Amino acid sequence: MTIPERNPEIERFGEVIFEEKVPSVLVKKNDTLDPIMTTLFDHKLIDEELKMGTRLALDEAFTNAIRHGNQNIPEKMVKILIFSESKRWSIVFEDEGEGFAPKELPDFEQSEFLFAEGGRGLFLMHYYMDDVIYIGTGNIIQLIKNL
């Protein structure tokens, strides 16, 4: 898996169909992810076939923002945006952390890293989404799914 360089800004397209800021509280993760999944279903952006993979990718991105970005500090917020147009949709997770350098991560497709505890979430995001973009200092991630 090749991790691309960071983009300077969010790729905005279509209309914003979801926007929210939520505190960094993992036990309330489903309270955030359930309405996101409902929004994606209501706008016919995912179906039953894509449900599990999409949920996994979003769960990993959101968990990483809370755990690694905001260090589980409830006062720090995660901003979430969903953009949609006729041929694709995307979701953006922005945390208040310092970010990270994606290029410094190991290749998770190599056998010694495939079952390692850390980094598997990034592999899942890349596997289930069509594009994963790291923005700015790495504290913003944009997941894109083509329709």
Please write the tens of the pLDDT for every residue from 84-107: 999 999 999 999 999 887 777 666
Where does 15-146 sit in CATH, by number? 3.30.565.10
What phi and psi values does residue 142 have, to the nearest 5 degrees? -120, 120
Is the sign of the CA dihedral 34, 129, 142, 115 positive or negative? positive
Domain boundaries, the chain: 15-146
Distance, CA of 111 to CA of 76 (rounded, Å): 36
Question: If you write DSSP's letter for every residue of 79-93 in order, what string do you get?
Answer: EEEEEEETTEEEEEE
Q: What is the pTM of this model?
A: 0.89
Average pLDDT over residues 93-122: 73
Distance, CA of 47 to CA of 5 (rounded, Å): 31
